[in-house]
């Protein structure tokens, strides 16, 4: 990943753990996962993982961004804990302009998404990887998952 060499990949919740671990292994990066305590549909509390973030570039990695509340809270906490920067990468950007602005207001820098869902933030083309997926059934090839980071 050329934009953030040596970045720490962080999942905003336990649901993202498998994707974050896969992406970290693929790019040779360290990773960690926050825990999320849900208090209702729009009320969550995020707890940072026990990993040093001081002075580090952090990329929050998730499968989907819709309201952006969880990602915004995680970005805020990471910056308060000393992260040099926090960017966000998601597979499916369902986030509207207002929620994206709120995420940036929380301190998130770049916001990258795959083109699995058309969105102004699309930065990762998935056509080749998805086309190769058809070969998976015939050849057993090792196809990278959808949680790719921009190179």
Q: Assess whether 128 carries a catalytic annotation.
A: no
Choosing from 4, 31, 36, 69, the catalytic residue is 36
Q: At what angle do helices 97-105 and 69-80 cross, to 10 degrees?
A: 10
CA atoms within 13 A on the CB side of 83: 26
50-69 exposure pattern, b = at least 16 Cβ within 10 A, e = fewer: eeebeebbbbbbbbbbebbb
**Catalytically annotated residues:** 36
């Amino acid at each position: 990943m050329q934009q953030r060499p040596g970045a720490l990949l962080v999942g905003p919740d336990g649901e993202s753990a498998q994707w974050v671990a896969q992406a970290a292994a693929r790019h040779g990066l360290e990773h960690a996962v926050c825990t999320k305590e849900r208090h209702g549909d729009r009320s969550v509390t995020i707890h940072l993982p026990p990993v040093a973030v001081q002075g580090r570039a952090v990329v929050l990695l998730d499968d989907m961004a819709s309201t952006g509340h969880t990602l915004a809270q995680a970005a805020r906490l990471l910056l308060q804990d000393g992260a040099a920067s926090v960017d966000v990468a998601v597979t499916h950007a369902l986030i509207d302009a207002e929620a994206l602005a709120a995420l940036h207001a929380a301190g998130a820098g770049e916001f990258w998404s795959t083109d699995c869902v058309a969105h102004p933030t699309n930065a990762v083309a998935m056509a080749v990887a998805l086309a190769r997926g058809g070969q998976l059934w015939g050849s057993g090839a090792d196809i990278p998952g959808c949680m790719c980071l921009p190179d």
